[in-house]
Amino acid sequence: MPNKRINGIHLEKMMKNGLAALQRREQEVNRLNVFPVPDGDTGTNMVLTLLNGVRYATSSEDCGVYLRGLSDGMLLGARGNSGVILSQFFHGFAVETARSPIIGPGELRAGLIRGYRAAYDAVVHPVEGTILSVMREGIEHIRSQITRTSTIESILSMYIAEMRKTLSFTPEMLSVLKEAGVVDSGAYGFILIFEGMLKCLYGEVIDLAEQPEQPSEKPLVDLSLFNEHSAFTDGYCTEFILQRLVHPRYRQDFSRDSFISELKFFGNSIVVVVDGTRVKVHIHTLYPAKVIAFAQQYGEFLTFKIENMQVQHNEHDRIAAPKKEHKPLAVIAVVNGEGMKELFSRFGCDIVIDGGTTMNTSSAEFVDAFSEVDADRIVILPNNPNVILAAKQAAQLSKRRDITVIESKSVAQGYFAMAMDLPDSDDASFRVSQMESGIRDIATISQTVASRDYSYHEISCRRGDEIALLDGEIVSVGSDYAKTILDTLAAVPAIEEKETCVIFRGARVPAEREEQLFELLSAQYPLMDFEFIDGGQEIYHWIVGVA
């Protein structure tokens, strides 16, 4: 029987079916990525983002309650540009329907509209012919057809049909898609989610072909290491989500700044994330009872976790993350490869996040990193164009005004940004401006092997070809890796004026190739200084930064 309204339980089943539909065709979505480098594939990023939302959400008959949890989880778990856009869509949907325990035709229409507008707002320069176009045109083409008597099934059917039409036109909107003969991968993944949701309403439950990997459990600590003779100095790691309540017994004068000011009396390493009427808190304290009593003035706990850090300290001879001294500026960088991690740590980065190979860093990883530093100001170096949005979203979630995302699009840019830093200066603003100047006019060459066939404009390659990219665009294709690098170097604007070349060697490249490449480069550019670094990165065989 058709549904004119759905509650939170219905919605939860629909979202899980949508996730299953996407996950079963995750690799199909990935293969639609036209670019021949598997650097954070769209399907994987969307699956992980939605999966985090489904795990985070609380079952409830109230749609607003369920959607708030789903949105929170997706915002924190968002990976890559496609994941951030997806999370913003459902965040907008959740905000629009926050007061709706039941979703009917009107609420669904309003939620879909608010959703795509939130997604557009999240992108500085929205590009048509992508997931954004599908989100927008899908509802704008049918909004006038939705009436009070419409069923949820009929609305979603029309929505999907219109999105499918727009999807078929994405190659006409983006020439790169047309030349590759594919549709937009993010748009296709988005449609798969809603198709799974609609199938749920018709009774078709999609079973996951393979259960998602569960987070590994922490090993049990040895409780004998804390006894009647132990010192207790490290306190408790306390985390909770507080739901503020409007009942007269609770305070209604909540202010994030004053809330943090009060928490400082009880501990340190404080992170407070506010999303509507929910407050997520992390604090290290010797007096958790006082923190509980203080927080309960405003509402009640949805989740609560407390761990004795002294036990962890005694077992590992250190806290999980050593307490860091207070400083004017802390730097968080995303890299991949043991050599890269060692290099950026040696450069003075306070937190170095492993960016993985094909899995982009999530917003939650940045939020966790914020809690590990004690600084007046924080700088993030994403070092990847597909991580910048997640970094910015994390900064917004944290509500801190002292976080600057320097839009470094490669580790080469991040390297030169760190090289321009003046760690001995107490002027954080000046240091940030110096680091920002470090990424200007830096050309990045990335060399690897094509993971799929590709054709765009006058450039085409076959899977297995050696390719070299200049600032993300393929410039040279061939069978000789060194020649592709030399050809791409020659394409760098004003290459004759460049003086420095830093070259990061990947994990799969023999060390002896450094000398071979050095001889070729120095013969071509005798006045340029070359420095080779064992980066250990997985995807790119060589990353070259030219300044």
d(CA 402, CA 404): 7
- Looking at residue 165, its pLDDT comes to 97
Q: Could you give the CA distance from residue 253 to residue 272 in angstroms, rounded to a whole number?
A: 16
Q: What is the pLDDT of residue 279?
A: 86
Region of 181 on the Ramachandran plot (φ > 0 left; ψ -120 to 50 alpha; else beta) = left
CB within 8 A of 433, min separation 6: which ones? none
- Taking the domain 327-438, which CATH number applies? 3.40.50.10170
Q: Would you kindly state where each structural domain of the chain is located, as residue ranges? A: 8-201, 234-309, 327-438, 443-546
Q: How far is CA 489 from CA 6, 245, 482, in A?
A: 58, 61, 11
Please, which residues bridge with residue 459 across strands? 456
* HEC readout, 120-162: HHHCCCCCCCCHHHHHHHHHHCCHHHCCCCCCHHHHHHHHHHH
CATH class (in words) of the domain with range 443-546? alpha beta
Q: Which two tokens stand for residue 153?
A: 């099934």
pLDDT at 312 over 60: no
pLDDT at position 320: 42
User: CA 266, CA 282: separation in Å to the nearest integer?
Assistant: 12
Model pLDDT, residue 357 = 61
Work out the percent of the chain whose per-residue pLDDT is above 90: 70
Q: What is the mean pLDDT of residues 181-195?
A: 95
Average pLDDT for 222-235: 67
Rounded-to-integer distance, Cα 39 and Cα 467, Å:
15
What is the tally of helices (H) and strands (E) in the chain?
20, 16
- What's the whole-number mean pLDDT along residues 424-443? 93
pLDDT tens-digit profile of 83-132?
A: 999 999 999 999 999 999 999 999 999 999 999 999 999 988 899 999 99
Over 60: is that where the pLDDT of 318 sits? no
The predicted structure's pLDDT at residue 225: 59
Q: 């995302």: which residue's tokens?
A: 405
Return the closest-CA partner of residue 532 out of 301, 200, 516, 70: 516
- In this structure, the number of other CB atoms found within 10 A of the CB of residue 131 comes to 28
Please, what is the angle between helix 388-398 and helix 63-77, to 10°? 130
What CATH superfamily is the domain 8-201? DhaL domain (1.25.40.340)
Is the four-CA dihedral 518, 524, 527, 529 of positive or negative sign? Answer: negative
Rounded to 5 degrees, what are φ and ψ at 500? -125, 140
C-alpha neighbours within 13 Å on the C-beta side of residue 74: 28
pLDDT at residue 322 is higher than 70: no
466-470 and 473-478 strand pairing:
antiparallel
Task: Give the mean model confidence (pLDDT) for residues 183-209.
Answer: 93
| Residue whose pair of structure tokens reads 């760098």 in the numeric block | 492
* DSSP 8-state symbol, 79: B
Q: Which residue has the tokens 């949820």?
A: 152
Phi (first) and psi of residue 457, to 5 degrees: 55, -120
Q: If you average pLDDT over residues 12-38, what whole number do you get?
A: 90
Is it the case that residue 214 has pLDDT exceeding 70? no
Burial 218-255 (b: 16+ CB within 10 A, else e): eeeeeeeebeeeeeeebbbbbbbbbbbeeeeeeeeebe
Taking the C-alpha atoms of residue 280 and residue 368, their distance in angstroms, rounded to an integer, is 12
Q: In the predicted model, is pLDDT for residue 443 greater than 80?
A: yes
> CA-CA distance, 41 to 25, in Å (whole number)?
13
Phi then psi for 99, rounded to 5 degrees? -100, 15
- Average pLDDT of span 332-352: 93
CATH number of the domain located at residue range(s) 234-309 in this protein:
3.30.70
Residue 316 and residue 307 in contact, taking contact as beta carbons nearer than 8 Å: no
Q: How far is the C-alpha of 32 from the C-alpha of 182, rounded, in Å? A: 6
Average pLDDT over residues 487-493: 96
Band the pLDDT of 457: cuts 50, 70, 90: confident
Q: Match 């949805």 to its residue by tokens.
A: 302
385 pLDDT tier (thresholds 50, 70, 90): very high
Average pLDDT over the chain, rounded to whole? 89
Residue 265, both tokens: 């009396």
Run of H or E residues at 455: strand 454-456
